[in-house]
Structure 1
């Protein structure tokens, strides 16, 4: 069994927020608090410590009293660059990632990912969900439904850092391409809405804390 103290939480907030008008998405208000505050509140009880990957607005993010780490790869290279940065300062044997724009992440995320990682002796566990329009009540339809990988919600062993280093040095950027060379386990979560990410100002304006 993996203990909470062995897991570092990494909040990915290093993007440019292009679809939201080039603003830092994690700092945009949902209700009376920035979205990242909601993410931190849900993730903090599930891990031993939290690090935030961020490439701008460092002074604002410092207010959340978590260590900050910037990408080591230039030009906003995506979530793998954020993971790469987080791994560079991680001191625990496991790290779990979550994006700053998913304020409803499940409170059992790490528990389920850790159980599957241990059970399957995998290197990485990643969440999968069924889109709401494809959800069914009976088991027969559930097994044939199309599952969607929530690639930035994953728990991994930090000893695969060198594998990621090599992948990035060779120019790799896509998360799915990196996963292809790892032993992964997909972990099903029933409520896809828990993994909703808010990408645009319009989506944010339409979202309330009880709307998901």
Structure 2
């Protein structure tokens, strides 16, 4: 896999309330989900930042990602308990100017094909390159940090609301797998269904 001159960001600061256990540490084919995602992303991007929320979560994830060493960094929320928007703000704030590929830690399908499709549009210069109705598995430009901060200060935590205020470009995936790219593991039923479908 070719590395591109962008960074990766995985949002992993959620409370996993509906799952009942930490979604980032769900075992997928023998490895924690977060480890699998970071490992795959490091083959595509220059560096991966994991937005972890708290110091306690950082310590937990640092241990599970230890063998990946300097390939991964951790970002702490500056606006605690404000949902994924705070994680996006924390991660983008510590990355140099440019585009960042953003995923949520409960998305087990990292599509290299879709990643490449999105990258083809970086010369358009928009704030966000994403697929219809999907805020993640998307490219965000670091220049939007100030606008995210404004939304957080206004207590407006809606990610899709943020996208509507930014200059965005929607890309319809060509990949045949379609919606499965955006599978989310939010509940034990989601996790069990995914395991059955994948045969592990």
Task: Report the TM range for the smaller structure's normalisation.
Answer: 0.7 to 0.9
Task: Tell me how far 1:99 sits from its aligned partner.
Answer: 0.9
TM-score by length of 1: 0.80
Is the Cα contact below 8 Å between 2:184 and 2:190 reproduced in 1? no
TM-score by length of 2: 0.84
CA distance in 2, matches of 1:161, 1:199: 27
The root-mean-square deviation of aligned C-alpha atoms, in Å, is: 2.0
Considering only CA atoms, is the larger Rg found in Structure 1 or Structure 2? Answer: 1
| Partner secondary structure for residue 108 of structure 1 | helix
1:61 is the counterpart of 2:61 = yes
CA distance in 1, matches of 2:197, 2:38: 18
- Counting only pairs closer than 5 Å after superposition, residues 111-130 of structure 1 correspond to structure 2 as 111-118=116-123, 120-128=124-132
Q: Which residue of structure 1 aligns with residue 26 of structure 2?
A: 28
Aligned pair count? Answer: 186
1:178 is the counterpart of 2:177 = no
- CA deviations on 1:159-188 (whole Å, 9 max, x unpaired) are 121122112212211011111121101111
CA distance in 1, matches of 2:140, 2:48: 15
Q: Which moves more between the two structures, 46-55 or 151-160? A: 151-160
| Partner secondary structure for residue 8 of structure 2 | strand
Q: Give 5+ residue unaligned stretches, structure 1.
A: 129-148
CA distance in 1, matches of 2:97, 2:41: 16
1:166 is the counterpart of 2:150 = yes
Is the Cα contact below 8 Å between 1:31 and 1:209 reproduced in 2? no
- CA deviations on 1:75-134 (whole Å, 9 max, x unpaired) are 2x111111100022112412121011111120133322121232x431110123xxxxxx
